[in-house]
Chains A and B, each alone.
Chain A
Amino acid sequence: MQRFQFYNPRSVEDALNFLAEKGERSKIIAGGTDLIPGLRLEEIRPDFVLNIPEINPFRGIKEMDHSFWIGPTTTFTEMVESNLLSRSFPALVQSAASVGGPQIRNRGTIGGNIANASPAADVLPALLAHGGELELQSKRNGKRIIPLAEAILSPYKTCFRSDEILTGIILKKLELGTRSAFEKLGRRKAMARARMNLTLLLRLNHREEVSELRIVPGAVMPVAKRMDRTERMLLGKKPEPLLIEAASKTLAEEMVEVTGARWSTEYKIPVLKNIFKRMMKQLLIV
């Protein structure tokens, strides 16, 4: 590893002051599960490393009137153990539970998963399906709030400025009756990274028609996004088996449009279609 200086800030203000001065030459470290391998390979060569897990206001999960706030250094284990999250966002908790093995879940954080912006991330696409928003803070500009969907610019690149810290993740409460599911596909090997995943959110109205649908496949696109063409196909309609079958084809087409034709020749298309149909069926039984 190239030499760097390590700074352990005592407060949010201390951390923001540090970045205001040295942000361009610094890297934030939370759980370090992405950063430390990068430092070891010297893919990243910061002069300073700013340690944020000890900053208490960055931890925990809070319920507000219309939303939830998740601290950026909340670990996957803490997300999985949170009754509050499990009750309100089961699919998000399933995505956190799918990460790595226990040692990685004990260290890896929700903020690190977003800020690293890996195309293979699991929790990032689930958050996207939930319409997550990010709270960013800097000394110069104070707080700003942006939708997660606008924060990831390209693989491993976010719109965060070098003096900014991701200080919170905001999730609006889902409307009553919203059902959700997350699944990671392919080989059932705990440590296998870059396995395709799928998050679905579904709500029906009193006529049993789809009134809300969000579909986000993960670990397949350079930058995860909602499959709005497929979503629109089902909106306002009764989710009959034939329509779901047709929607699964549209979903596959939409994926190929984003990822390029080569993707379709792989095993992934039939897998994605089947998992989509199965998850829809499961959500409709509930």
Chain B
Amino acid sequence: MSKEPGKTLLKMKVNGKAVEVMVNPTWTLLRVLREELRLTGTKKGCEQGDCGVCTVIMDGRTVNACLVLALQTESKEIETIEGLGTADQLHPLQKSFIKHGAVQCGFCTPGMLLSAKALLEKNADPTLEEIKRGISGNLCRCTGFVKIIKAIQNVHR
């Protein structure tokens, strides 16, 4: 802990790269990603854990970045949507989302993709029920989930 009331140095890994950033103790991981590191693919929505648009993967598990204090991520590995694929080399899930029309306004998509990725890493062939449970922390106001579920089911087909 720094004695001064100001900022503290935070060291973590984001998308495989070591990152050092000065943060205020009251900042959330979401704020650091979006405003300090300019990784704005992680979206800001309800900021109370309900919508899931801020979902990132921390040490292999999905979390709501709005519900983690930045300083709680010291030494942790964070994976954001920017680490999933690039414009010319999309992740299979991203391709499948496009193919199945699972993206409308796109606001929920980054978080949804990361929840889907975490799900498939633990369970390569999830049932419909397991997919629904896996993305139950991510709201989509546009698609009604059917196309998103199709996209996840058919990612390797």
**A joins B in a complex:** yes
Interface status of B92 (Cβ within 8 A of chain A): no
Q: Looking at chain A, what size class is its interface with the partner chain?
A: 20 to 34
CB of B8 within 8 A of chain A? yes
| Interface residue? A66 (CB, 8 A) | no
Among B5, B49, B62, B134, contact of A33 (Cβ-Cβ < 8 Å): B49
Selecting from B36-44, B68-76, B100-108, the interface stretch reads B68-76
Chain B nearest CB, measured from A131 CB (Å): 30
Contact of A103 among B1, B26, B62, B133 (CB under 8 A): B62
Which single member of B8, B72, B134 contacts A32 (CB below 8 Å)?
A: B72
| Nearest-CB residue, chain B, relative to A81 | B122
The verdict on B61 contacting chain A, using a C-beta distance below 8 Å, is yes
Asked if B138 is at the interface of the complex by the 8 Å CB criterion, the answer is yes
Asked if B63 and A106 make an inter-chain contact with CB atoms under 8 angstroms apart, the answer reads yes
Cross-interface CB contact of A101 among B52, B68, B69, B72, cutoff 8 Å? B52
| Contact string against A for B residues 128-157, beta-carbon threshold 8 Å, 1 for contact and 0 otherwise | 000001111111000000000000000000
Are B63 and A49 in touch, CB under 8 angstroms?
no
A141 contacts the other chain (Cβ, under 8 Å)? no
Contact B137 A6, beta carbon cutoff 8 Å: no
Contact with B along A10-47 (1 / 0, CB 8 A): 00000000000000000001011100110110000000
CA distance A36 to B70 in the complex (A): 11
Whether a CB of chain B sits under 8 angstroms from the CB of A190 is yes
Given A8-B71, A100-B49, A191-B136, A1 contacting B63 (CB threshold 8 A): no
Closest to A37 in B: B48
Whether A190 and B133, one on each chain, are in contact in the complex, defined by CB atoms closer than 8 angstroms, is: yes
Q: A40-B47, A106-B63 are in contact. Are A6 and B71 (CB under 8 A)?
A: yes
Q: Are B50 and A49 in contact (CB under 8 A)?
A: no
Give the interface of B toward A (CB within 8 A): 1, 5, 8, 24-26, 28, 47-50, 52, 55, 61-64, 66-69, 71-72, 74, 115, 118-119, 133-139
- Chain A residues within CB distance 8 Å of chain B: 1-8, 29, 31-33, 36-37, 39-40, 49, 51, 53-54, 77, 100-104, 106-107, 190-191
Pairs A-B, 5 closest by C-beta atoms: A101-B137, A190-B136, A6-B25, A1-B26, A106-B61
- The 26 listed contacts between A and B (C-beta, < 8 Å) are A1-B26, A3-B25, A4-B25, A6-B71, A8-B74, A29-B69, A31-B67, A32-B67, A33-B49, A36-B28, A37-B67, A39-B26, A40-B47, A53-B72, A54-B74, A101-B136, A101-B137, A102-B134, A102-B136, A103-B63, A103-B115, A103-B137, A104-B64, A106-B61, A107-B63, A191-B50
